[in-house]
Chain A
Amino acid sequence: NAGVTQTPKFQVLKTGQSMTLQCAQDMNHEYMSWYRQDPGMGLRLIHYSVGAGITDQGEVPNGYNVSRSTTEDFPLRLLSAAPSQTSVYFCASSPPLLETQYFGPGTRLLVL
């Protein structure tokens, strides 16, 4: 199993551009989530999904959209990038009935 994978590893955007951060897992996990990590602020939840077709907002959802058409994939879309969205983004997944979350390798995003 590859576990949780994320692409790209690093991305530079200009203000106003849009892009999609990809996340996939091959462990048949029901729960998936997106976090952003900023210095001194820990991991903040952006959006999460408890299964295909079901998504919900986390702590900091503004400026981001998600969809969950399959169990494996959970892409995060930035509609119009802003410098405040410069961060490291982590995707995570966990199996049903278990609390342990497994993180992907992260995507480092720089918005100029």
Chain B
Amino acid sequence: GENVEQHPSTLSVQEGDSAVIKCTYSDSASNYFPWYKQELGKRPQLIIDIRSNVGEKKDQRIAVTLNKTAKHFSLHITETQPEDSAVYFCAARHPNDYKLSFGAGTTVTVRA
């Protein structure tokens, strides 16, 4: 099955700086890559996703890039704010499968 690795496990950034989280996947056929944000004590919520026919997608301060050749994708958060502090999960999905395979998560702390 699909194996997703996520780095780093923790990330501390100064408010206003950028944060980057990277994920690698094992199955080259995977074609859907979502990112979820989970605030403390809350449910994971989708913040952005990308499909394999697109190399980059942006939504305000967040962006995701995909490198199919290297089998990795990254989440970029610019101009970080205290409300960006949360755990972020990447995931990957094979086209013949309904299941999502999740990374282990990155705890992001934005220092004021």
Contacts and interface: CB of A to CB of B under 8 A. Distances in A.
A100 B44 CA distance: 12
B6 to A, nearest CB: 8
A42 B99 contact: no
Interface residues of B, number: 21
Contacts, number: 48
A100 B34 contact: yes
Report, nearest first, the 9 A-B pairs whose CB atoms are least far apart. A103-B43, A42-B104, A43-B102, A42-B102, A99-B32, A31-B98, A103-B44, A42-B105, A105-B43
Interface of B: 1, 6, 9, 32, 34, 42-46, 49, 89, 93, 98-105
Interface residues of A, number: 23
A24 to B, nearest CB: 15
Interface of A: 31, 33, 35, 40-45, 48, 50, 58-59, 90, 94, 99-106
A106 B34 contact: no
B99 A48 contact: yes
Interface centre among A99, A100, A102 (most CB of B within 10 A): A99
A41 B104 contact: yes
